[in-house]
Amino acid sequence: MSISIEAGVLTVAVFSLVEWFTFTEHYRLDGAESAAKRRDFRNGANSIRLASATASRLQLQMRWEGAYAGKGVEDVVLVGEDELHITCSLALHNGKSATYRQVYRRRR
């Protein structure tokens, strides 16, 4: 995973051992919505935005259309110098929902 800020845009890139299963999203720092590909690679519009930011926490919001339309919120929290927690809560328009947490630890 790579997170960077340049020219008023927060860029989040997620990498995988499976080359086609990677994505890069660009969030405007002013909180405006941006278009992005759906993370499940299905067709349909996907809007993302940076809802809030502090020195140790980001809240990212997303909503998508098409098959399995829904919305989601990701809380990205820096836990110490070498650990990042991402808690993702998703809700589909059909009423189903899920929450999961990813933990990233920097290797030195």
Q: Where are the domains of the chain?
A: 2-105
Q: What is the model's pLDDT at position 9? A: 93
**Residue for token pair 């980001």:** 58
Radius of gyration of the chain (CA): 14
32-59 residue pLDDT tens: 999 999 988 899 999 999 999 999 999 9
Give pTM, 2 decimals.
0.85
Q: What is the model's pLDDT at position 32? A: 96
Within the chain, which residues score under 70 in pLDDT? Answer: none
Distance (Å, whole) CA 61 – CA 108 = 31
Q: What is the model's pLDDT at position 16? A: 83
Helix (H), strand (E) counts: the chain: 0, 9
Cβ proximity of 11 and 29 under 8 Å: no
Q: What is the model's pLDDT at position 2? A: 85
